[in-house]
A and B are shown apart, each in its own frame.
Chain A
Amino acid sequence: MQYLYCELYTELRRSMIGLLFKIIIFLFVVTDAFLIGKILLVGKNIQILNPKGIIAFQEKDLLLLAISLMLLVVIPVFIWAFYVATKYHANNSKATYAPDWDHSTKLQLFLWGFPSLIIVILCVINWAAAHKLDPHNALPSTVRPITIQVVALQWKWLFIYPEQRIATVNYVEFPDKTPIIFEVTSSDAPMNSFWIPQLGGQIYAMSGMATQTHLMADGPGEYRGSSAEISGAGFAGMTFIAKSTSLKDFNTWVARVKQPSNILNIKEFNVLAKPSEDVPVTYYSSTENNLYTTIVTKYMAHPTIVPRKDHSSGSQQNMQNMQM
């Protein structure tokens, strides 16, 4: 009798665990599907899929094209997997059973051939896209580009405008529909990465080296920029605001910043370069001559300035210390 009760109890417990478990999982899945759906519908928060600049726009197109090509292989594979799993279940005695069929040269050629074809197409696209969207490429435009020099410091971003001779911290403004040449480096800081997702991809900022990226905004707007490479305790606070305005508004802004206030000379720069977190937006009304060059060559034993053979025009300080 006791034995029977034991069995009954075990059976009940087992089925209750199973049922409880299924209910919990179901609740979780439903809640999460709801939350995710809500977010996807408010899609404009997905910055990479909502580009505001010509580079980000092309990068998004490339992303969608590549996904579509891959789905040509992936979807048939999933259908095949589903079909095989259901039809050849051990309980299905009607299905053919061929235990010794283990090779077919023709089939192998197709199995290697079809994915290879898709991949070769993707590789051609890869080569073309990598060259077209290389950050060092000048952007096609009749408008004269503006150069902004970016310096990643311990936990803030310094933007130097060499033509306007002003500088800002954690804030960068530029005219829309104008190619901006960002020359990027880092100072007394480990590797950083300069990124404005809605305008385009990131580029590393490294001490003693100068990298470059070209971006252009479609129209006026305010975008979030950040560092994308861990650089220490204050790394998460290294966000900045990037704003694109009309050319008129930009010039007004420059004139306003040029009202005499702080001056960014080497001494002031060294103070700024000391580690600090959550630095508020700061403006400098004038900068020392060739400040950026000084910063980049600080760690070089034999600094050389070699004009880059390439593609960007209009930059006054065309530097290539490290051939990449």
Chain B
Amino acid sequence: MNVEQFIFGKLTWNDLPHEWFTIGGTCAFIALGIAFIVLVTYFKRWRWLWNEWLTSTDPKKIGIMYIVVAFLMFLRGGLDAFMIWAQQVLGSGNTFAFLGASHGYLSADHLQQIFTAHGDIMVFFVTMGFLFGLINLIVPLQIGARDLAFPFLNSLGFWLYFAGVVLINMFFVLGGEFAATGWLAVAPLSELQFHPGVGVDYWIWSLQVSGLGTLIGGINFVVTILKMRAPGMSLMRMPMFTWTSLMSMILVISIFPILAMTMALLTMDRFFGMHFFTLDNGGNQMMYWNLIWMWGHPEVYVLIIPAFGIYSEIVSTFAQKKIFGYTSLVIAAAAITILSFSVWLHHFFTMGAGADVNAFFGIMTMFIAIPTGVQVINWLFTMFRGRIKFVTPIYWFFGFISTFTFGGMAGVLMALPPVDYQVHNSLFLVAHFHTMIVGGALFGIFAGFSYWFPKFTGFKLNERLGKYAFWTWLVGFFVSFVPLYILGMMGATRRLDHYDASTGWQPLFFVSLIGVCIIMLAVGLQVLQIIVSIKQRNQNRDITGDPWNGYTLEWATTSPPPFYNYAIIPQVTSRDAFWEMKKYDKQKVLVKYEDIELPKNTPMGIYVAGFVFLFGVAMVFHATLFILIGLFGAIYCVILRTFDDHSEYVLTAIEVEKIENKLRNK
């Protein structure tokens, strides 16, 4: 290895942007970067940004950062989706042939990179980002805690996630290609034999880095929920969102090591020429499928279970009724968590495992439908004999009911191996899982967002625009995805870049594209809603901190809460702690403030993530020097942090009293 290889590895001048989309992407990033720098400098907010937000260990700040980044990635993923759809419409070689080559406007390889990126971005960076953001914001407040168990790790987890975000976008600037394998980069397609470029390596390292952040976050949340609840809050007195967050994070801790190891084995194949999943020398491609889906299936439950928790909270609050069948709901969430480990083979019934194996996994898959259905019925019984206020979050809930049920039916259908043999890898499958994730998880996130928005900003969202946005989303969703169910039945395979016009698929793709446009309109309305709400904030102020007459502890604080959440940790005597407090605690309690210990802000999370990012890029290009710098830099920063004995500070009782008085008297 000569000096040049040691420093630069496989990097050549050719890796700089020279295609239309890499140049375009790089220019877009530069433009965004310049706009950001100009804005922050104009408003003289650099110090504020650094001290208040970037180095913060406050889960509320970190949660908002997660949501902002997740939203930006949502725009990127959505743009990818539009490009996919446009290609599908144009790729029939028929009606629109005059617009370009009869095979649409994208090359096959390019389209394959786009839908791979779309899948990874939407699952890892959008949905997981939104969920981690919400859990950070809500769970400490709900359990009466001031912070997470490990505040520095919380910051580090966010910055690793951000490093993953940069990595997945990095190929525009350096390298020019992403994986063209589908979102899970299955072997042997992702092996060197079929993918010699850097695309799959970018896939590996963006997911490894953000996966590390996810794992750290998962451990953090589980410990927090188990060890830092307010006195009197036993497990069976926790709010439903906390329960479901706990379940989801237990899943995260169990499965992310599997993903990390599978990608590590693939790295060993690609970097060191080993043969875990190659075609030759004893590589076993079926092993990759099993490992990746052992991670992949519980992962989708990680995404949906917290959404179920959000729906529980919303249904209870807006029907002004205690949640019906709390124990049943907890058992159902636990059942789904445990069962999710036993179904992974249903992703490859067609691999020929034999009837006994296929039937077993099909049956286990069907069992999961039972707790899911039970949850839905319990929510409906919560609304029964309630007083339902039809605000935007409840609309999202009904949107979920109308979409998720159909998607769930499609899922149970595919749990029958013989049916799956016909619809596996068709657009029927694509429609199914989009219904689950969009209709289930994404609608849940939107519902949670509009429900908890007043808590963290101090004002409510514009109701009228919220309803418009909801209806547009729902209509757009049906118009986009119902054609896909039909197309799957017509024998349309997923991931195609062109097809023959004689198949008769093009009109349905066109209908679907209209649906996508409607969804884009809906997202525009959501953005408009936020802008208008900010302008109208004084009219919609939340003065009491409890705008919806809520049941759970987070509504006991002001809107927004002080950075330490609770000046006095609440004593909990039952489920629906805040509701009970409101009913019985009318008398004034003499308040005695005490000193509060809080973690200091720290830039160490940013530094560690920066080194890990460098390590990731260096691994993609085999640039040994930077691999070593990245690795040892990260380790050194972590060690430095462990020697930091002054990572906390004390907020004296007098200061607490001053802040509390100001908040209560405003």
Residues of the A chain whose Cβ atoms lie less than 8 Å from the Cβ of B188: 190-191, 207
Complex CA gap A198/B413 in Å reads 18
Complex CA gap A207/B155 in Å reads 45
B384 engages A204 (CB within 8 Å): no
Known interface pairs A28-B479, A97-B387, A103-B326; A126-B508 also in contact (CB < 8 Å): no
Residue of B nearest to A230 (CB): B495
* Interface of B (DSSP majority class): helix
Considering the complex, which residues of chain A in the window 59-91 have a beta carbon less than 8 Å from any beta carbon of chain B?
59, 62-63, 66-67, 70-71, 73-74, 77-78, 80-81, 84-85, 88-90
Residue of A nearest to B405 (CB): A74
Complex CA gap A18/B366 in Å reads 43
Residue of B nearest to A42 (CB): B504
Considering the complex, which residues of chain A in the window 71-124 have a beta carbon less than 8 Å from any beta carbon of chain B?
71, 73-74, 77-78, 80-81, 84-85, 88-90, 95-104, 107-108, 111-112, 115-116, 119, 122-123
Residues of the B chain whose Cβ atoms lie less than 8 Å from the Cβ of A104: 325
Question: Residue A246 at the B interface, CB < 8 A?
Answer: no
How many Å from the CB of B424 to the closest CB on chain A? 6
Residues of the A chain whose Cβ atoms lie less than 8 Å from the Cβ of B285: 190-191, 206-207
Which stretch in A46-54, A145-153, A157-165, A262-270 binds the other chain? Answer: A46-54
Which among B362, B384, B494 is the interface contact of A126 at CB below 8 angstroms? B362
Question: Residue B367 at the A interface, CB < 8 A?
Answer: yes
B321 engages A99 (CB within 8 Å): yes
- Count of B interface residues, CB-CB < 8 Å: 112
A88 engages B383 (CB within 8 Å): yes
Complex CA gap A301/B275 in Å reads 13
A130 engages B486 (CB within 8 Å): no
B380 engages A70 (CB within 8 Å): no
Question: Residue B81 at the A interface, CB < 8 A?
Answer: no
A28 engages B352 (CB within 8 Å): no
Question: Residue A135 at the B interface, CB < 8 A?
Answer: yes
Residue of A nearest to B385 (CB): A98
Which stretch in B159-167, B511-519, B647-655 binds the other chain? Answer: B511-519
Question: Residue A244 at the B interface, CB < 8 A?
Answer: no
Question: Residue A143 at the B interface, CB < 8 A?
Answer: no
Question: Residue B510 at the A interface, CB < 8 A?
Answer: yes
Known interface pairs A130-B418, A228-B426; A119-B490 also in contact (CB < 8 Å): no
B325 engages A108 (CB within 8 Å): yes
B417 engages A28 (CB within 8 Å): no
Question: Residue A219 at the B interface, CB < 8 A?
Answer: no
Which stretch in A33-41, A251-259, A286-294 binds the other chain? Answer: A33-41
22 pairs of residues in contact across A and B, judged by CB atoms under 8 Å? A32-B511, A32-B515, A36-B508, A45-B490, A59-B419, A70-B413, A77-B373, A88-B387, A103-B326, A108-B325, A115-B373, A125-B416, A136-B352, A190-B187, A190-B188, A201-B424, A204-B350, A230-B112, A233-B180, A235-B496, A235-B497, A301-B281
A interface residues, Cβ below 8 angstroms from B: 14, 18, 21, 25, 28-29, 31-32, 35-36, 38-40, 42, 45-49, 56, 58-59, 62-63, 66-67, 70-71, 73-74, 77-78, 80-81, 84-85, 88-90, 95-104, 107-108, 111-112, 115-116, 119, 122-123, 125-127, 129-136, 188, 190-191, 193, 195, 197-198, 200-204, 206-209, 211-212, 224, 226-237, 239, 299, 301, 324
**6 additional contacts, CB 8 Å, given A136-B355, A324-B354?**
A45-B490, A67-B413, A88-B387, A126-B359, A188-B279, A203-B421
B interface residues, Cβ below 8 angstroms from A: 91, 107-109, 112, 180-182, 186-189, 191, 194, 279-282, 285-286, 319-328, 348, 350-359, 362-363, 366-367, 369-370, 373-374, 376-378, 380-390, 398, 401-402, 405, 409, 412-413, 415-426, 464, 468, 471-472, 475, 479, 482-483, 486, 488-491, 493-500, 503-504, 507-508, 510-511, 514-515, 518
